Amino acid sequence: MNKPQKRNTARQAASKKKPAACSKATGQIVISASLLKIFSVGTLIIGDSGIGKSESSLELISRGHKFISDDVVEIFEDEHGQLQGRSPQLTRNFMEIRGLGIINIKEIFGSRSLLEKAPINLVIRLKKWSKKVETDRLGLKFPKDYPLAGKMIPQLHIPVAPGRNIATLIEVACRVFLLGQKGYEAAQDIIQQLEKRLSIEAD
Protein backbone atom coordinates (compact mmCIF):
# COMPACT_ATOMS: atom_id res chain seq x y z
CA MET A 1 0.00 0.00 0.00
CA ASN A 2 2.98 2.32 0.57
CA LYS A 3 4.41 2.10 -2.96
CA PRO A 4 1.41 3.66 -4.78
CA GLN A 5 1.45 6.46 -2.21
CA LYS A 6 5.14 7.06 -2.94
CA ARG A 7 4.50 7.19 -6.68
CA ASN A 8 1.62 9.56 -6.20
CA THR A 9 3.79 11.83 -4.09
CA ALA A 10 6.41 11.88 -6.84
CA ARG A 11 3.75 12.72 -9.40
CA GLN A 12 2.50 15.61 -7.29
CA ALA A 13 6.02 16.93 -6.90
CA ALA A 14 6.51 17.04 -10.67
CA SER A 15 3.06 18.50 -11.22
CA LYS A 16 4.11 21.60 -9.33
CA LYS A 17 6.13 22.45 -12.45
CA LYS A 18 3.04 22.41 -14.67
CA PRO A 19 2.75 26.14 -15.37
CA ALA A 20 5.01 26.90 -18.36
CA ALA A 21 8.35 27.94 -16.96
CA CYS A 22 11.86 28.38 -18.30
CA SER A 23 14.94 27.16 -16.50
CA LYS A 24 17.96 29.42 -17.08
CA ALA A 25 20.26 26.66 -15.91
CA THR A 26 19.08 24.04 -18.42
CA GLY A 27 17.46 26.24 -21.08
CA GLN A 28 14.32 24.12 -21.03
CA ILE A 29 10.65 24.87 -20.50
CA VAL A 30 8.07 22.71 -18.75
CA ILE A 31 4.47 22.56 -19.96
CA SER A 32 1.30 20.62 -19.20
CA ALA A 33 0.79 18.22 -22.11
CA SER A 34 1.17 14.63 -23.28
CA LEU A 35 3.90 13.61 -25.72
CA LEU A 36 3.86 10.58 -28.01
CA LYS A 37 5.52 9.52 -31.22
CA ILE A 38 2.69 8.59 -33.55
CA PHE A 39 3.90 6.92 -36.72
CA SER A 40 7.02 9.08 -37.23
CA VAL A 41 5.52 12.28 -35.82
CA GLY A 42 6.50 13.65 -32.42
CA THR A 43 3.05 14.77 -31.26
CA LEU A 44 2.42 17.15 -28.37
CA ILE A 45 -1.19 16.85 -27.16
CA ILE A 46 -2.49 19.88 -25.27
CA GLY A 47 -5.86 20.99 -23.93
CA ASP A 48 -7.77 21.90 -20.79
CA SER A 49 -7.55 19.65 -17.74
CA GLY A 50 -10.00 16.76 -17.97
CA ILE A 51 -10.40 17.03 -21.76
CA GLY A 52 -9.05 13.48 -22.27
CA LYS A 53 -5.36 13.88 -23.09
CA SER A 54 -4.20 10.96 -20.95
CA GLU A 55 -7.07 8.64 -21.91
CA SER A 56 -6.46 9.29 -25.62
CA SER A 57 -2.73 8.77 -25.12
CA LEU A 58 -3.37 5.45 -23.37
CA GLU A 59 -5.42 4.17 -26.31
CA LEU A 60 -2.71 5.31 -28.74
CA ILE A 61 -0.09 3.42 -26.73
CA SER A 62 -2.26 0.30 -26.84
CA ARG A 63 -2.21 0.62 -30.65
CA GLY A 64 1.58 0.49 -30.70
CA HIS A 65 2.56 4.16 -30.68
CA LYS A 66 5.44 5.32 -28.50
CA PHE A 67 4.99 7.02 -25.12
CA ILE A 68 7.34 9.73 -23.91
CA SER A 69 5.52 11.71 -21.22
CA ASP A 70 2.12 12.36 -19.68
CA ASP A 71 0.86 15.53 -18.01
CA VAL A 72 4.28 17.19 -17.66
CA VAL A 73 6.69 17.57 -20.59
CA GLU A 74 10.17 19.07 -20.48
CA ILE A 75 11.03 20.78 -23.76
CA PHE A 76 14.56 21.66 -24.80
CA GLU A 77 16.48 22.48 -27.96
CA ASP A 78 19.03 19.96 -29.24
CA GLU A 79 22.34 20.72 -30.94
CA HIS A 80 20.60 20.92 -34.34
CA GLY A 81 18.06 23.51 -33.19
CA GLN A 82 15.21 20.97 -33.08
CA LEU A 83 12.82 21.10 -30.13
CA GLN A 84 12.75 17.83 -28.21
CA GLY A 85 10.44 16.67 -25.44
CA ARG A 86 11.01 14.29 -22.55
CA SER A 87 9.50 13.29 -19.23
CA PRO A 88 10.73 14.55 -15.86
CA GLN A 89 12.76 11.85 -14.12
CA LEU A 90 10.21 11.51 -11.29
CA THR A 91 7.27 10.68 -13.57
CA ARG A 92 9.05 8.77 -16.35
CA ASN A 93 7.03 5.73 -17.51
CA PHE A 94 4.03 6.77 -15.40
CA MET A 95 0.59 8.00 -16.40
CA GLU A 96 -2.43 9.13 -14.39
CA ILE A 97 -5.82 7.86 -15.53
CA ARG A 98 -8.99 8.99 -13.78
CA GLY A 99 -10.60 5.98 -12.14
CA LEU A 100 -7.40 3.90 -12.27
CA GLY A 101 -4.91 6.22 -10.62
CA ILE A 102 -1.19 6.01 -11.44
CA ILE A 103 -0.23 3.28 -13.92
CA ASN A 104 3.21 2.15 -15.11
CA ILE A 105 3.29 2.08 -18.91
CA LYS A 106 6.50 0.03 -19.01
CA GLU A 107 5.06 -2.69 -16.77
CA ILE A 108 1.78 -2.88 -18.71
CA PHE A 109 2.92 -2.51 -22.34
CA GLY A 110 6.64 -3.30 -22.12
CA SER A 111 9.78 -1.28 -22.76
CA ARG A 112 9.13 -1.19 -26.53
CA SER A 113 6.22 1.18 -25.87
CA LEU A 114 8.59 3.84 -24.49
CA LEU A 115 10.94 6.46 -25.87
CA GLU A 116 13.21 8.63 -23.74
CA LYS A 117 12.59 11.68 -25.92
CA ALA A 118 11.00 12.75 -29.20
CA PRO A 119 11.10 15.79 -31.50
CA ILE A 120 8.17 18.20 -31.33
CA ASN A 121 6.82 18.05 -34.90
CA LEU A 122 3.11 18.66 -34.36
CA VAL A 123 0.85 20.16 -31.70
CA ILE A 124 -2.68 18.79 -31.39
CA ARG A 125 -5.06 20.81 -29.26
CA LEU A 126 -8.08 18.99 -27.88
CA LYS A 127 -10.93 21.43 -27.38
CA LYS A 128 -14.50 21.00 -26.20
CA TRP A 129 -16.89 20.97 -29.14
CA SER A 130 -19.43 23.80 -29.13
CA LYS A 131 -22.30 24.62 -31.48
CA LYS A 132 -21.46 28.29 -30.99
CA VAL A 133 -17.98 27.89 -32.47
CA GLU A 134 -17.76 27.50 -36.23
CA THR A 135 -15.58 24.57 -37.27
CA ASP A 136 -13.85 24.29 -40.63
CA ARG A 137 -15.31 21.11 -42.14
CA LEU A 138 -13.28 21.08 -45.34
CA GLY A 139 -9.77 21.55 -44.00
CA LEU A 140 -9.17 24.74 -45.96
CA LYS A 141 -8.27 26.80 -42.91
CA PHE A 142 -5.78 25.43 -40.42
CA PRO A 143 -5.05 27.00 -37.01
CA LYS A 144 -2.04 29.27 -36.69
CA ASP A 145 1.22 27.57 -35.75
CA TYR A 146 1.76 27.08 -32.02
CA PRO A 147 4.49 29.27 -30.46
CA LEU A 148 6.82 27.17 -28.34
CA ALA A 149 10.25 28.11 -26.98
CA GLY A 150 10.72 30.77 -29.62
CA LYS A 151 9.70 28.50 -32.50
CA MET A 152 6.43 27.99 -34.41
CA ILE A 153 5.10 24.43 -34.48
CA PRO A 154 2.35 23.23 -36.87
CA GLN A 155 -0.93 22.88 -35.01
CA LEU A 156 -4.25 21.09 -35.52
CA HIS A 157 -7.42 21.36 -33.42
CA ILE A 158 -9.66 18.38 -32.65
CA PRO A 159 -13.10 19.14 -31.15
CA VAL A 160 -13.97 16.67 -28.38
CA ALA A 161 -17.56 15.44 -28.06
CA PRO A 162 -19.31 12.24 -26.88
CA GLY A 163 -19.07 9.50 -29.49
CA ARG A 164 -15.93 10.83 -31.21
CA ASN A 165 -12.98 8.45 -31.16
CA ILE A 166 -10.27 10.94 -30.29
CA ALA A 167 -7.38 8.46 -30.56
CA THR A 168 -8.37 7.60 -34.14
CA LEU A 169 -8.74 11.27 -35.01
CA ILE A 170 -5.26 11.98 -33.62
CA GLU A 171 -3.83 9.16 -35.75
CA VAL A 172 -5.52 10.56 -38.84
CA ALA A 173 -4.33 14.07 -37.96
CA CYS A 174 -0.74 12.78 -37.94
CA ARG A 175 -1.26 11.13 -41.33
CA VAL A 176 -2.75 14.38 -42.67
CA PHE A 177 0.33 16.20 -41.36
CA LEU A 178 2.67 13.73 -43.09
CA LEU A 179 0.76 14.07 -46.37
CA GLY A 180 0.89 17.85 -46.00
CA GLN A 181 4.67 17.63 -45.71
CA LYS A 182 4.61 15.95 -49.13
CA GLY A 183 2.42 18.73 -50.54
CA TYR A 184 -0.89 16.86 -50.58
CA GLU A 185 -4.14 18.41 -49.27
CA ALA A 186 -7.38 16.47 -49.62
CA ALA A 187 -9.55 19.62 -49.67
CA GLN A 188 -7.58 21.07 -52.58
CA ASP A 189 -7.70 17.69 -54.32
CA ILE A 190 -11.50 17.51 -54.25
CA ILE A 191 -11.80 21.17 -55.32
CA GLN A 192 -9.58 20.50 -58.32
CA GLN A 193 -11.65 17.43 -59.25
CA LEU A 194 -14.85 19.46 -58.94
CA GLU A 195 -13.46 22.27 -61.10
CA LYS A 196 -12.33 19.72 -63.69
CA ARG A 197 -15.79 18.14 -63.81
CA LEU A 198 -17.50 21.54 -64.10
CA SER A 199 -15.12 22.47 -66.91
CA ILE A 200 -15.97 19.26 -68.81
CA GLU A 201 -19.71 19.80 -68.35
CA ALA A 202 -19.38 23.39 -69.55
CA ASP A 203 -17.76 22.20 -72.76
CA distances from 158 to 47, 122, 138 (A): 10, 13, 13
Which H helix or E strand runs over 47? strand 41-47
Which amino acid appears at position 28 of this protein?
Q
Q: Is residue 7 over pLDDT 70?
A: no
CATH of the domain at 113: 3.40.50.300
**End-to-end CA gap in the chain:** 78
What are φ and ψ of residue 50, in 5° steps? 85, 5
Q: What is the pLDDT of residues 110-138, one digit of tens each?
A: 999 999 999 999 999 999 987 766 666 55
pLDDT at 16: 43
Domain ranges, residue 112:
2-202
pLDDT digits (tens, 9 = 90+) for 59-115: 999 999 999 999 999 999 999 999 999 999 999 999 999 999 999 999 999 999 999
The answer to whether residue 1 scores a pLDDT higher than 50 is no
Question: Distance between CA atoms of 17 and 28, rounded to whole angstroms?
Answer: 12
Residue 174 pLDDT > 50? yes
- Write down the pTM of the prediction: 0.78
Given this model, what pLDDT does residue 190 score?
67
Contact 115, 40 (CB under 8 A): no
Mean pLDDT of the chain: 83
Does 5 have pLDDT greater than 50? no
User: For residues 103-141, b (16+ Cβ closer than 10 Å) or e, as one string?
Assistant: bebeeebeeebbbebbbbbbbbbbbeeeeeeeeeeeeee
Predicted pLDDT at 138: 56
Q: Which residue has the higher pLDDT, 144 or 135?
A: 144
Total tally of structural domains belonging to the chain: 1
Q: Over pLDDT 70: what percentage of the chain?
A: 75
pLDDT score recorded for residue 131: 72
Note the pLDDT of residue 96. Answer: 93
Residues 6+ away with beta carbon under 8 Å from 20: 29, 30, 31, 32
Residue 178 has pLDDT above 80, yes or no: yes
